[in-house]
Amino acid sequence: MHQFYKNLSIWLLVALAVLLLFHYCKQSPERAHTVSYTEFLKKVDSGLLANVTVVGDTVLWKNTDGTLIKTVVPQASDALERLLRGNVTIQAEEPPQTPWFLHTLLSWLPLLFLGFLWLFSLRRGGGQTPGGSGRALAFGKSRARLINPEESKIKLDDVAGIDEAKEEVAELIDFLKKPEKFTAAGARIPTGVLLYGEPGTGKTLLAKAIAGEAGVPFFSISGSNFVEMYVGIGASRVRDLFNEGKKRAPCIIFIDEIDAVGRHRSAGGAGSSGNDEREQTLNQLLVEMDGFDANDHVIVIAATNRQDILDPALLRPGRFDRQVMVPLPDVGGREKILKVHARTAKIDPGVNWQVIARGTPGFSGAQLASLVNEAALMTARGNRPAITMAILEAAKDKVLMGAERRSLIITDREKRITACHEAGHALVAWMLPGADPVHKVTIIPRGRALGLTMQLPEEERVSHDRAYLSATLCTLLGGRIAEEIVFNQMTTGAGNDLERVSDIARRMVCEWGMSEAVGPLTFKAANPLSGQPGQILSEQTAILIDVEVRKLVQTAYDTARHLLTEHRGLLDAITAALLERETISRDEIEAIVRTGAAN
């Protein structure tokens, strides 16, 4: 239909152009030379003219050589009388008249052209049809893209590291394949499934895999595609989307980033109108998922990384019956994800994926995919036959810490301060029994950092005790303290460390109840995104919290300072090694500590 309107508009424009050209040619006389009125009078008075043709206020005649000449005669002139006195034969003709319909068309042409442009943009603004055929739609039509079963190539085997989430959605696939099995037992399939978790964990990929396994039509749309500046458009698109889904039931409707339209309805504050576009769209979505009319065999899958700001009415049973957390993968999941992304890459037989997985704690699936891709790019740039462990380690550092900035010029003094700072982090982490082991220390600038100390946990941590958090505070403060001990000064290099120290200490007091003076209480801060106000604190409680936060930080500061003062020789040795080699590994630090202990 979109192509039909486009072809029709082109033919109309061509027809109009031909009509105008024909009319111009019809009313335009033969090409004539123009002479002045004064010269024309001279020719009349001298008797050089025998025949003339008068068309309106224009006089036409032919010269002796056959050239057509014309002159425009003023209205208040005696040209006609002079022609009659000179016995000149005069032939009068009416000027050509523009047909009324053409005159009307020409007068309305600008408005018609503007209206056509507006209509064309309006129809294009409706987006693609659910079938993806590109038909022109109105604003109120859905922008969802329909993926037919034969088009979906992603299967559950392509999703790794989130086995529990895959088991949760396996029932949906069984129901879509064999709905009679569940309906015979009186079971009702969940109307909606909410996939939530941190960014990059594979929520959208899991939804694509569900579509690929179920073999049913799959409508995909983003939450931001519902909301427009015109009130009512989003609600109309929701209605159209579910109508299309019911026509193709059983099917799946996938709404990515649903928080764009499903935010808490009180998030706008007291001055927000309940009649705005986003709220109307959300209300329509609530009705379509579980309203007066039954919505059988249409399953809604939504993804978000901000579950806390979604409206409670959207999360209740009957709408999103299941809420499936898609977590960050553990060490086993990371190994599986790496192997999935390495299927199409050339991998050296000596690559140990378990070692790489252990060295990437906290990595999401997207980061692991980026790691393998970076390794492949490095392999291609270096004209190497396959991806090796060394390349994977370099790619991991690039993904984790950013690209090296070897072109950055820093003074020798700044370099020594940076080396001392990182040596302070590394030594405190090495000496404290509860801290994560040091994996690598570097003073090569990466990203916005002039140096980095990388720690890798020996095992996966799900929760953290107070001893581990205290050791983390000491490690973060070690860099600042080392600068004070060696150079007797403070620099801005510890800015990010101090920010993390303040955040961890305040959360220990306000969220995790790790202060004896405050006790096992929690104090929530305001959440402006969800519209939830913070907990009201008395002045005495606020002062007590500040005192306890300062006490935790000061205790960690004293502990780290004592360690660095006691082992000043090791601090200088690690600093010298960094200045010499720029990057040192765990084994090299261990050799330095062993040598220092022997001396």
Catalytic residues: 422
Select from 216, 233, 215, 211 the least CA-distant residue to 224: 233
Select from 341, 299, 336, 142 the least CA-distant residue to 210: 299
| Helices marked H in 90-178 | 100-125, 163-177
Q: How far apart are CA 388 and CA 373, in angstroms?
A: 13
Neighbours of 75 (CB within 10 A): 5
Query: Residues in the chain, how many?
Result: 599
Q: Give, for 93, the enclosing helix (H) or strand (E).
A: strand 89-93
Q: How far apart are CA 419 and CA 355, in angstroms?
A: 28
- Tokens describing residue 105: 């068309």
Q: At what angle do helices 203-214 and 163-177 cross, to 10 degrees?
A: 30
- Tokens describing residue 555: 């205790």
Q: How far apart are CA 399 and CA 464, in angstroms?
A: 25
- Tokens describing residue 541: 């409680």
* CA 366-371-375 angle, 5° bins: 150
Q: How far apart are CA 301 and CA 172, in angstroms?
A: 10
- Tokens describing residue 346: 């050339």
Helix (H, G, I), strand (E, B) or coil at 432: coil
Neighbours of 3 (CB within 10 A): 11
